[in-house]
Amino acid sequence: MGCSMNEGELRRLLAEVKAGGLSRRVFLRRMAAVGLTAPMATQLLAYSGVAMAQSASTYKPTKRGGGGLLKILWWQGPTLLNPHFAVGTKDQDGSRIFYEPLAGWDPEGNLQPVLAAEIPSRENGGLAADGKSVVWKLKQGVTWHDGKPFTADDVVFNWQYATDPATAAVTIGSYKDVKVEKVDDYTVKLLFDKPTPFWANAFVGAQGMIIPKHLFEPYIGAKSREAPTNLKPVGTGPYKFKDFKPGDTVSGEINPNYHMPNRPYFDAIEMKGGGDAVSAARAVLQTGEYDFAWNLQVEDEVLSRLEKTGKGKVVIAESGNIEHIQLNSCDPWTEVDGERASLKTKHPILSDPAVRQALALLVDKGSVEKFIYGRTGPATPNFVNNPKRFRSSNIKDEFNVDKAAELLEKAGWKKGGDGIREKDGKKLKFVFQTSINQPRQKTQAIVKQACQKAGIDIELKAVTASVFFSSDVANPDTYPHFYCDLQMYTTTQGQPDPGLFMNQFCSWEAATKANKWQGRNITRWQNEEYDKVYRESENELDPVKRAALLIRTNDLVVSNQVVIPVVMRPVVVARANKLQASVSGWDNNTWDLQNWFKEA
């Protein structure tokens, strides 16, 4: 096998998995650590009689319905239910109750068919050898909640809908570089202008939910926001729409004609919004009032204490999400043509590489992990962390106050009488903002304390989450405006591939007033080398060469201190003990809702 593990140890691990004492995922990680690939490790499990941990094989109910009400809690409630307008995870998750994509991403980063009859491959003729086309075969016999048939016309329409600029769909990025053709009623072909190594973007996962042509066609383009179905979804999913109070409650009832046998198990679903992450965790783990709670950005000590009540479990799913600090490349304090942090400016202090390097040395990630996040946020030097083949080994973490002070001293930043360093009449004073959330305020405090020791003054700013993450172009406190020096939040990697994820540092993606701050490059960093490497990665079909290019993009971003990675952010949820629910870090929290059930 080419690994250092002896046969006895391997047999012991296999026995643990079989007995339920070791998860399949942990086993695969152990094997990867000694050089055994995931397919080979999976074969070992199969030969040893260990069942594959996929939803379909572990689903036990033998009939549709009978499970009563499923109560789930999102402490930020959905505000709309059209997936093409879903600006955040909460809206995407709410939409996924009713709408489905052609395929979803499981916890291992594998594609699982939903509305597709099969996953395209070279073997079945779905993937072209030149990387410029993909053929999807659709599942037949699927109906929309109003009884109309689901066909290729619906798929083609979603591409037309999302790519019409007047529709103003947030999903346009997944569809703008592809052309979609109908082959027959149950087959569509996607055509790319250039070789496309990561083809599973359009119609897949969180960005891929499909809406019905017959209800939305009259509202394509400029009328898109007027569609009644934006708030009263008609999908193909396991639950039919019942009621919606934006920001508060979404409810649905069983779809008696759902296209998967014996599914769903629950007779009805209620998604409740409001409160905060701690109260959401308590509602599942302590009181048992809810079956499932989303996005638990809660200190690990609190979660562990709540788990001891025995009513539920914390579930952690590996993902590519990253809590990070952004350094503004532009001047947030000078207005140019009605816009602060304009591309026409440079940050007066952070344009000094020594200052950026010093700040990176002053983020005590070890303490953030140890005292705040624990198992829910391992410290990391990298912006890209998963899948592991894209993780750089070139970047090393270092926390060193003395070294930071020495760097600043050599660069001419001298301490004044107030203890704050200054140079050429400018003081090392920064405004550091993030959303209101206890772990984030504690992280801010750790950073501020280290900066003070090095002679940097940090003013902390905390913005209500509903404002900070709002898409309101008129509000200067949203994170895309970035009207301060430093800011911190988690950016999510929605697929088990960092290609699309890393375009957030491309020059052409800069968030500006001209594009209503919809560009993904929030720092406004402009770098020709980065743009060149990223463009090369877009067309490279060799997976090893492509991984090397994407690792290079990570190294450029981190070594230039465009961002300072803090901790990895796996998906962290709570579920009731009896609830069986697959959680994927690569898709919606509700990606596998049709397979959720409760053990007897």
Flag whether pLDDT at 256 surpasses 90: yes
Other beta carbons within 10 Å of 302: 18
H or E segment and range at residue 211: none
Question: Which residue range is the domain that position 537 belongs to?
Answer: 322-569
Q: Are residue 346 and residue 299 in the same domain, yes or no?
A: no
Specify the pLDDT at position 24. Answer: 59
Q: Which of 44-58, 100-114, 375-389 is the least confident region?
A: 44-58
Q: Are residue 265 and residue 131 in the same domain, yes or no?
A: yes
Q: Are residue 329 and residue 306 in the same domain, yes or no?
A: no
Flag whether pLDDT at 598 surpasses 80: yes
Tokens representing 249 are 């409650």
Query: What would the pLDDT profile of 458-484 be if each residue is shown by its tens digit?
Result: 999 999 988 998 878 889 999 999 999
Flag whether pLDDT at 57 surpasses 60: no
Mean residue pLDDT across the chain: 91
SS3 track for 364-399: CHHHHHHHHHHHHCCECCCCCCCCHHHCCCCCCCCC
Q: What are phi and psi of 598, to 5 degrees?
A: -110, 135
pTM, 2 dp: 0.79
Assess if residue 58 is contained within a domain: no
> Domain holding 169: CATH number?
3.40.190.10
Q: Are residue 544 and residue 581 in the same domain, yes or no?
A: no
As a whole number of angstroms, the distance between CA 117 and CA 132 comes to 21
Specify the pLDDT at position 55. Answer: 40
Assess if residue 242 is contained within a domain: yes
Specify the pLDDT at position 470. Answer: 80
Residue 3 pLDDT class (50, 70, 90 cuts): very low
Assess if residue 64 is contained within a domain: no
Q: Are residue 16 and residue 124 in the same domain, yes or no?
A: no
At 215, which amino acid appears?
L
| Alpha carbon distances (Å) from 125 to 118, 120, 122, 155, 509 | 11, 7, 5, 20, 35
Bridge pairing between strands 579-580 and 312-317:
unpaired
Assess if residue 523 is contained within a domain: yes
Total domains in the fold of the chain: 3
As a whole number of angstroms, the distance between CA 267 and CA 175 comes to 35
Residue 58 pLDDT class (50, 70, 90 cuts): confident
Describe the crossing of helices 24-33 and 38-47 by its angle, rounded to 10 degrees: 130
Query: What would the pLDDT profile of 345-377 be if each residue is shown by its tens digit?
Result: 999 999 999 999 999 999 999 999 999 999 999
> Does residue 5 or residue 482 have the better pLDDT?
482
Flag whether pLDDT at 35 surpasses 70: no
Tokens representing 524 are 């406004």
Q: Angle at CA 106, nearest 5°, toward 184 and 67?
A: 95
As a whole number of angstroms, the distance between CA 232 and CA 236 comes to 13
